[in-house]
Structure 1
Amino acid sequence: MHIAVVGAGLSGLTAARQLQSQGHHVTVYEKSAGVSGRMSTRQTELGGFDHGAQYFTASTDRFKKEISDWKKSGWVTAWDEKLVSLDHGTVKPAGKSATRYVATPGMNALGKQLAHGLDVRKEQQVMALEAYGDQWLLKVQADTVCIPASAGPFDAVILAIPADQAAALLHEFPKFEAQANKAKLAPCWALMLGFQTSLDLPYGGAWVNQSRLSWIARDTSKPEHRAGERWVAHASQAWSIEHLEEEPERAKEKLLKAFHEATGSWIQPIHAVVHRWRFAQAEHPLPQDCMWDAKRKVGVCGDWFAAGLEGSGRVENAFLSALALAKTVS
């Protein structure tokens, strides 16, 4: 079959690779200029900022095996830096957890590796699905063209995009559309800070309590990342929802103040930028692995499916959901 995969984040790339290995002809459509989705790295003169997914862990044997293969290929490595919790500037030890992994030399590097050998059409946003007999056409809006063009026909379509975006393409599948709307994704503001001198903080990352922030990390503490003093801060879900439409400059001022308060360091950055993730993490993850209409051959996967795990929004969810869907496709 000729299959279209919409979305080149980890879930879409995993589905595409698995489907291609099963002998299908796969074309991937991605609205952005690069692959990896929320496993994103922002490049600057100071170096890269992992401003999306910070790290990932593994709880299932299947994902542990995949990570082992990625490690052997040199795509990922363990991040063993000290992590703590912060409460009004007070540093407290964080509890032990599973091994944390990062892609090198930035989180988006994993997606770039997974995209090798795939036909990925970047900067092409899928606006609609149109039935064409027992096949499908995609209405695709390219950055360089004013009018959407038709792509296809395809024998099957896989949507590997945030729930809100998937729902907009599922009008012909009301049950799927309703399910996607239930999994509404919450936003997250990210703050990227570069400093000329070290902040001399005794940790590489921290969960922040009672603050506008929920997490901070020193990007340069991650293995094989460019040297320097670069920090990423994520706002709390509640603050991000309340301030979703805040002007970026105002959001930056407020989050920078929160960073200073949380760390107790008042050194001013030489670089400060914010990014608004409108679709960061599912508030109500769907309990199943994925969705697939065997008759009409349209499916959906992503990190907003539980895929056998507790909760959602993790790299492991994205991987397992995609794998489950690809193996369901006949």
Structure 2
Amino acid sequence: MPIADRHTPPPRRIAIVGAGLAGLTAARTLVQAGHAVALFERDARPGGRLAGWESPYGSFDSGAQYFTVRDERLRRALDATGAPCRRWSANAVRVLDPAGRLVEAALPGLEPHWVAVPRMDALPAHWAAPLGDALHRGTTVVRIEADSLQPGRWQLRTQGEADDTAVQAGFDAVLLAVPPTAARALLAPVADGLARQVADVRIAPCWSLHLAFAQASQPGLPHLGPQWNCARSTHHRVAWLARESSKPGRGAIERWTVQASAEWSREHLRDDAARVRAKLLRAFAEITGILATPTLAEARLWTEAKTETPLGRSHLWDAKAGLGVAGDWCIGHRVEDAFVSGLELALAVA
């Protein structure tokens, strides 16, 4: 046997729970290192907070609105994979006072904003494609257990979309790339120490409102309301607004996404969607001056949206137990935080 082979660790079978950007990054990295990966995602599409929604009037980015590229490793990954991403000319970001009046014309030194095309979920879909059958969609992991037939390994109890249950066994390691609430629930029965390390992470909820104005697609009426494409707002109800139709690769019908502030979302966490829709629509009119009745108005709730108290390190990895944790919430709330977390966990495992 060649000397070099003596130092090459044997391939392992690794389960990853969650196919958001952290889980996908970890999966791709480990596959490239020669390991066998099984990636479990409860939803029909991968992506996590890189979510999109197709309405009769065009698409919406229902989760993350854009991403930045501060880490050179993310830039190289995007280039190497031919990721379907384009720069968004969001260089007219405004800051608004609580009454909705413009108080600052533009944020100085705004870094480039990037979006996937035609929706934000196109990036995770592109990165998931090479994984093929290793990605198990519509599969919820409900429990991690010691493998009943192979000592020293793990098995997962899963539930499918039709409530069918199964046991996936023979894993040398299990990596969790899910929100902290789900990570704590899965870890507590088998690794209480890891679960306790996640206990102090806090993520705020977010109500979002998606609006379409079909009348604004008529010739000679390029858009409604203000001249800017997005705004960080200090209105007591709204933290962020974006003209979805200004993003590259989107349709021409005027569409907006309005994201409520963390404080307001928390206060109205148990409100029904109709009540939230009415309140956010009023706030949208106050901020933008758009008084037209929208053709579509859809309110949606993210129970865990933006990290307020992160873990404070890029990942957790217990090599002896073969258990690890990753997610944007380990570092912060940016899309590239998820990429960095998943990458650094995979490098620690590999």
Partner of 1:235: 260
Aligned with residue 248 of structure 1, among 259, 273, 276: 273
CA distance in 2 between partners of 1:195 and 1:116 (Å): 34
Secondary structure, aligned partner of 1:23: coil
**Unaligned regions of 5+ residues in structure 2, if any?**
1-11, 217-222
The partner residue of 1:80 within 64, 85, 89 is 89
Aligned match for 1:190, one of 208, 221, 225: 208
Shift of 1:68: 4.0
> How far apart, CA to CA, are the structure 1 residues paired with 2:295 and 2:210?
11
1:223 aligned counterpart, secondary structure: coil
2:177 to 160, 167, 177: 160
TM-score, normalising length: structure 1: 0.94
| Paired letter, 1:189 | W
* 1:201 alignment partner, SS class: coil
- Measured in 2, the distance between the counterparts of 1:260 and 1:200 equals 9
Per the TM alignment, residue 67 of structure 1 is displaced from its structure 2 partner at its CA by: 3.8
Question: Larger deviation: 91-100 or 282-291?
Answer: 91-100
Instruction: Give the greater-gyration-radius structure (CA).
Output: 2
Contact 2:226 2:289 in 1 (8 A): no
After superposition, the C-alpha distances for 1:218-257 in whole angstroms (9 at most, x for unaligned) are: 1110111122111001000001111111111111111111
Alpha-carbon distance in 2 for matches of 1:177, 1:184: 14
Distance in 1 separating the partners of 2:13 and 2:295:
49
Instruction: Measure, in 2, the Cα distance between the counterparts of 1:20 and 1:295.
Output: 21
Shift of residue 127 of structure 1? 0.6
The amino acid of 1:112's aligned partner reads A
Taking structure 2 as the reference length, what is the TM-score of the superposition? Answer: 0.89
Read off the aligned partner of 1:320 and give its amino acid letter.
V
**Match of 1:51?**
62
Decide whether the 8 Å contact of 1:105 with 1:226 is kept in 2: no
Q: 2:276 corresponds to which letter in structure 1?
A: A
Pick from 143, 151, 163 the counterpart of residue 145 of structure 1: 163
How many positions carry a matched residue from both structures? 322
Question: Is 2:126 the partner of 1:113?
Answer: yes
Tell me how far apart the structure 1 counterparts of residues 313 and 250 of structure 2 sit (CA, whole Å).
36
Contact 1:164/1:184 (8 A) holds in 2:
no
Q: Which residue of 2 aligns with 1:208?
A: 233
Residue 113 (structure 2) pairs with residue 100 (structure 1): yes
Aligned-pair identity in percent equals: 39
5+ residue gaps, structure 1, are 307-311
